[in-house]
Amino acid sequence: MDTMLVPPWLEPLLNTSFFSICRTHGDAARSECNMFCLDCNGDAFCFYCRSSRHKDHQVIQIRRSSYHDVVRVSEIQKVLDISGVQTYVINSARVLFLNERPQPKSGKGVSHICEICGRSLLDTFRFCSLGCKLVGIKRNGDTSFVLGAKNEEALMEREGIQRRLVSSREEEELRGGAQQDIYPSTPPPPPSNARRRKGIPHRAPFGS
């Protein structure tokens, strides 16, 4: 496949089996093989293998939803053009599926379906997964996985704006906290329950 349309690491990623126990670190707490290196294009590996063998490499983490492999959009969109692929929000994170999922034939009234496998989609996307988009590229060649220069610039610009917004909020919070520490608010005076003692009443003199 032409690397102008599909990066060389994508098909190895889609064909890799994840979530087996690492042979080297099987006794450790985080020994599931849910990492993939975009530089090495090898097998899946665990958290500890990443620290020792792939420290300076591009690595993405694979997650699981209903026994299917997913990847967070925030990670994959930095290295791949995912336009046209349906995304989902799972556990407060936006993700997409690596490969197609078997589904009964879509019933009537379905507005959007995957161009490749016919799976019903929630929105106006063309594909249900990265795997289906790959098949679509091989068949038609009318889309691509490779990030263009404009896309990369836009992504970097969005990330820069987000960083500036976060920094501004943190700075405002710090300033607000400092002001509260230096200039504590003056507590209101306690309410007084004491009543003024009434004087002795005097009657007006009777007129003669």
Q: What percent of the chain stands above pLDDT 90? A: 51
Q: What local confidence, expressed as pLDDT, does residue 185 receive?
A: 42
Give the residue with greater pLDDT, 205 vs 184. 205
pLDDT at 54 over 50: yes
Give the residue with greater pLDDT, 137 vs 154. 137
Tally of CA atoms within 13 A in the half-sphere of 111 that contains its CB: 4
When pLDDT is averaged across residues 38-55 and rounded to a whole number, the result is 91
Least confident residue range of 83-87, 94-98, 105-109: 105-109
pLDDT at 176 over 50: no
Across the chain, what does the average pLDDT equal? 79
pLDDT at 178 over 70: no
Write down the pTM of the prediction: 0.68
Are the beta carbons of 120 and 106 closer than 8 angstroms? yes
Give the residue with greater pLDDT, 165 vs 200. 200
H/E run at residue 60: strand 59-61
pLDDT at 181 over 90: no
Q: Give one DSSP letter per residue of 109-121, joined into a string.
A: T--EE-TTT--EE
Residue-wise pLDDT for 1-18, tens only, equals: 556 789 999 999 999 999
Are the beta carbons of 88 and 113 closer than 8 angstroms? no
- Residue 200's SS3 state is coil
When pLDDT is averaged across residues 129-144 and rounded to a whole number, the result is 93
Q: How far is CA 53 from each of CA 26, 78, 122, rounded to the nearest angstrom?
A: 16, 22, 40
pLDDT at 25 over 50: yes
pLDDT at 163 over 70: no
